[in-house]
Structure 1
Amino acid sequence: MNADPVTILSFFLVILFVMPARYVVGPLGGAGSPASMVAVLLLVWYLLSTLSPRWTPIRDRQPVRAVIVFFCLTVLASYVAGMTRPVSSDELNAADLGLVLVAGWAGIALVTADGVSTMDRLETLRQRIVLGATFPAIVAMFQFFTGMELTQYLALPGLQENGSSVLFEREGFFRPAGTATHPIELGVVLAAVLPLALHGAIYCRVPQQRRWRWVSVALIGSVLPMSVSRSAILGLFVAMVVLLPTWRPEWRLRAVLIFGFASIIMRLLIPGLIGTVMNLISVIGSDENSTTRTGDYDAVVQAVSQRPLFGQGFATYLPRVYRVIDNQYLMSALETGLVGLVGLLVFLASGWLLARGARRVATDEETRHLAQCFAASMAVAVFGFGTFDAFSFPMITNLMFLILGCCGALWRLQTQVSRVTAEPVI
């Protein structure tokens, strides 16, 4: 790779976070978002680089490569299996475009895992992830308070709208999506990025920058409840459960005090919002939304039992033809079968395991904390993927494959250091 991967990935982050995800190249539908197209080019760049011994990124052990190959093979197997049954033209088009999406996800993870060369470059990428996620948070805050859909002015000419531009509402509050496609997606994205933002603010050594990094933390944290989404709040809870036990006692005390103070401020500035969000959480399992989701289980079990191993084909379970399934684990079981569900679980678990493995071998506190923050981000995804069909939403899916790549890069860099320090001096 003769170009700097972090620079290329930074361009990708601008496309991912700044351009509204619902605007696509018309004929390509959901696979035609600018971010998805850039992601495919990343895979092409990665594969071409492997042809040259000088530029190949494949030099050290990297478990992410095996994870991505396995995940892609499960999708390809489901595609082949899906073609053995009668399929409509809509399903066939969706299956073909689904392969394009998966190619892009693979490109993001592989370029990041193998291309980030030093801890300094990984830190630069972390900063840019946080900076990128701050933009949809700002847009969402504007949407929440004004009810105006600002994103219609951010799309490139020639793109088509693939989704509604009308703001959702719940309990009298606007539910902003920022530049994401849905408030749930925005909420889970912000919950996954918040640990990375906290790391940058805590360990910032430049006083002038520290102030702005805490502003990013405040923006991301305050917009989370504005999404009026249970997934966002519970994702925040998951992130804190992962982080708090590893913090110093004084950090935990500050976190509790800041959280309490922030809750009071939110209650004063936006009366009813905190109560609405807490009520949504308290009625989980008994409200109409929850019962509708659990009502999907019987239909899913019946459909999976007909094609248990490889499913009916990735991306072919179209909501307009079948039904809406707000659970990625169920969707994967339907579309890619039990084998594909294992592929999804391996993808999510590997990020956690690589981050935790990097934490174990890291020798300094800052790197150990960074590894724990990446693990927290993956934990948010493990939970969040059970609350909506995440692979249907480009921002969260692209982000999580990027974070998987970051976990792989961190593991590789730390194990390199560990091997070097362990070698005897002759």
Structure 2
Amino acid sequence: MTTASPRIQIASLDTPLYQRADGATLMCVYVMVILLTPARLILRGLPMSLTPADVLGLFTITLWFCAHFTTTLGIAKGPNAVRRGMFTYGFALLFVYGYATFAYLPSDELNSADHSLVLVVANLGLALGMVDGVRGRERLDFVLKAMVVAGVGMAFIGGVQWISGIDLTVYMELPILHANDVVVQAVEARSGIQRVPATTGHPIEFGVIMAMILPFAVHYGFHARDRGESPRRWWIAAVMIAMGLMFAVSRSGILAIATVGIVLFIGWSGRRRLQAMGVVGAFLVVVQVLFPGLLGTFYNLFTSIGSDDSVRYRVHDYPNATAEFLRRPWFGRGIGTWYAPKHQVFDNQYLLTLVEAGIVGITVLVGIVLIAAYGASKARYLSVDPRDRNLALTLAATAIVPLVGAVTFDLLAFPQVTALMFFLIGACGAMLRIVEDERKRPRQQAPSAPRWDRPVARR
């Protein structure tokens, strides 16, 4: 009796039986909804097309706004570089919207602009919820692990589509949801090899999302033993997500993972680089054995760029985009006002942003990505924990993926990859806040010397 009671007491103090729901809990639900809800499904009974993730984003920014009027709800306060970037981005696009709607707009373009502004607010809610609502390293890990789990679910759905041709998303429609007018093909053919979108709206979006999530599965696999966990589940998750990237058969996905790989390769130690190259080599061998011809398809995608019709289509619209941009170079014609089938599709987010939001819009779009990468890089510089340094490096590497993806497709027109972009931007801000708070805490908690120990000035 006397020896057992202290153990029970220690376990009850150090291992809480439950975790109170907080901002990280909401962000976990959010990222699950983003990745696992089919892109074509929208909520019924609303005056505009909104997905469940859009509604959650609006709900989150409402909670964020109300929580800042209190001091008891645990939301973070104080300056943060990423949060300032989000404010600048929001106010700039609000000004662009006001500039466009001040003049005459056709009713269809005005409705599209209204819808785009609502989506901007929803995505800002997601980013601000991450920056200020996720408090502490453990809660940030909790949210990012939930993202990896959701990515595994998305990869599994894509794998079933690729291997068997069965589209599981047709069985995921809830009574409160219905399909929009966008047609999503479960299986497409490219260079004789089929490609799949999983729960997204297009294989390109699927491939880029897999490339953005994969580095986090690798991170938790490398550092699982440091946390007393088995790395096996994280490596299984990494393999499944990597296979999802392959099943997308997307140049954009390969460019995205190459971008992440270059940044990680520069920041990793020599030992980690050798381990990563060994893992990649073994993975490619397995892919070649299990799915003959798949790697050859990727090779042909890049060697045939000069004769690829999709590349020609992306390039031929440059003169039209330039002419439209020069009509309103500073503020553009209005966010959301250039849309298909009324207008030509550019398949290039930089061109689309220049036309819709002008120089101001392209500046704040590139700016929030660079600020997020700066925030993660600063967190890596300030931290002394190897796990935190690698997590910050992973966040910085994935944060810049949109800068590359925006060249190959109109990224902001795809809701899931756009939401994931803002999610990771917010994660960069949360990481920076966590590290900065830890550096401030020792100075704030250091007890001052007792009054009687202080030297007394002599007269």
Same fold (TM > 0.5)? yes
Instruction: State the AA in 1 paired with 2:130.
Output: T
Instruction: State the AA in 2 paired with 1:198.
Output: V
Out of 208, 220, 226, the residue aligned to residue 188 of structure 1 is 208
Q: Distance in 1 between matches of 2:324 and 2:44?
A: 31
Q: Distance in 1 between matches of 2:45 and 2:357?
A: 25
Q: Distance in 2 between matches of 1:191 and 1:418?
A: 32
Q: Distance in 1 between matches of 2:125 and 2:304?
A: 40
Q: Distance in 2 between matches of 1:191 and 1:272?
A: 21
The alignment-based identity, stated in percent, is 31
Match of 1:157, SS state, is coil
Confirm or deny that 1:165 pairs with 2:214: no
Q: What residue is the counterpart of 2:152 in the other structure?
A: 134
Q: Distance in 2 between matches of 1:59 and 1:84?
A: 35
Q: What residue is the counterpart of 1:264 in the other structure?
A: 285
- 8 Å CA contact 2:335–2:356 kept in 1: the answer is yes
Match of 1:61, SS state, is coil
Q: What residue is the counterpart of 2:235 in the other structure?
A: 214
Instruction: State the AA in 2 paired with 1:199.
Output: H
Q: What residue is the counterpart of 1:60 in the other structure?
A: 78
Confirm or deny that 1:74 pairs with 2:92: yes
Instruction: State the AA in 2 paired with 1:279.
Output: N
Cα deviation for residue 65 of structure 1 reads 2.2
- Unaligned 5+ runs, structure 2: 1-19, 449-459
Cα deviation for residue 249 of structure 1 reads 2.1
Out of 287, 294, 304, the residue aligned to residue 273 of structure 1 is 294
Q: What residue is the counterpart of 1:197 in the other structure?
A: 217
Deviations, residues 172-226 of structure 1 (Å, cap 9, x unaligned): 2221111111111111111011111111111012676421111100011122121
- 8 Å CA contact 2:61–2:124 kept in 1: the answer is yes
Q: Distance in 2 between matches of 1:140 and 1:29?
A: 32
Q: What residue is the counterpart of 1:21 in the other structure?
A: 39
Match of 1:128, SS state, is helix
Q: What residue is the counterpart of 1:229 in the other structure?
A: 250
Confirm or deny that 1:103 pairs with 2:146: no
Deviations, residues 75-130 of structure 1 (Å, cap 9, x unaligned): 11221222244422221111111111011111011111011111111111111111
Q: Distance in 1 between matches of 2:349 and 2:419?
A: 15
Q: Distance in 1 between matches of 2:435 and 2:206?
A: 31
Out of 370, 373, 378, the residue aligned to residue 357 of structure 1 is 378
Out of 354, 367, 370, the residue aligned to residue 333 of structure 1 is 354
User: Which deviates the most, 44-53 or 210-219?
Assistant: 44-53
Cα 1:304–1:165 change in 2 (3 A) is closer
- 8 Å CA contact 1:64–1:109 kept in 2: the answer is no
* Aligned pairs (5 A) from 1:266-345: 266-345=287-366
Cα 1:137–1:20 change in 2 (3 A) is same
Q: Distance in 2 between matches of 1:128 and 1:95?
A: 33
Out of 366, 383, 388, the residue aligned to residue 367 of structure 1 is 388
Instruction: State the AA in 2 paired with 1:111.
Output: G
Match of 1:322, SS state, is coil
Q: Distance in 2 between matches of 1:225 and 1:415?
A: 38
Aligned residues: 425
User: Which deviates the most, 162-171 or 335-344?
Assistant: 162-171
Q: What residue is the counterpart of 1:419 in the other structure?
A: 440
Cα deviation for residue 395 of structure 1 reads 0.9
Q: Distance in 1 between matches of 2:355 and 2:200?
A: 25
Q: Distance in 1 between matches of 2:42 and 2:103?
A: 30
- 8 Å CA contact 2:75–2:133 kept in 1: the answer is yes
User: Which deviates the most, 321-330 or 45-54?
Assistant: 45-54
Cα deviation for residue 304 of structure 1 reads 0.7
- Unaligned 5+ runs, structure 1: none
Match of 1:93, SS state, is helix
Confirm or deny that 1:125 pairs with 2:143: yes
- 8 Å CA contact 1:308–1:337 kept in 2: the answer is yes
Confirm or deny that 1:245 pairs with 2:263: no
* TM-score normalised according to structure 1 size: 0.95
Cα 1:29–1:341 change in 2 (3 A) is farther
Cα 1:157–1:22 change in 2 (3 A) is same
- 8 Å CA contact 1:22–1:181 kept in 2: the answer is yes
Q: Distance in 1 between matches of 2:160 and 2:106?
A: 42
Cα deviation for residue 258 of structure 1 reads 2.1
Q: Distance in 1 between matches of 2:259 and 2:315?
A: 22
Cα deviation for residue 425 of structure 1 reads 7.1
Instruction: State the AA in 1 paired with 2:80.
Output: Q
Cα deviation for residue 4 of structure 1 reads 0.2
Match of 1:324, SS state, is coil
- 8 Å CA contact 1:24–1:30 kept in 2: the answer is no
Instruction: State the AA in 1 paired with 2:196.
Output: P
Structure exhibiting the larger radius of gyration computed from Cα positions: 2
Instruction: State the AA in 2 paired with 1:316.
Output: T
User: Which deviates the most, 50-59 or 231-240?
Assistant: 50-59
Q: Distance in 2 between matches of 1:178 and 1:286?
A: 28
Match of 1:386, SS state, is helix
Cα deviation for residue 155 of structure 1 reads 1.7
Deviations, residues 361-393 of structure 1 (Å, cap 9, x unaligned): 001111100000001111222211221111111
- 8 Å CA contact 2:332–2:355 kept in 1: the answer is yes
Q: What residue is the counterpart of 1:388 in the other structure?
A: 409
Instruction: State the AA in 1 paired with 2:143.
Output: L
User: Which deviates the most, 87-96 or 20-29?
Assistant: 20-29
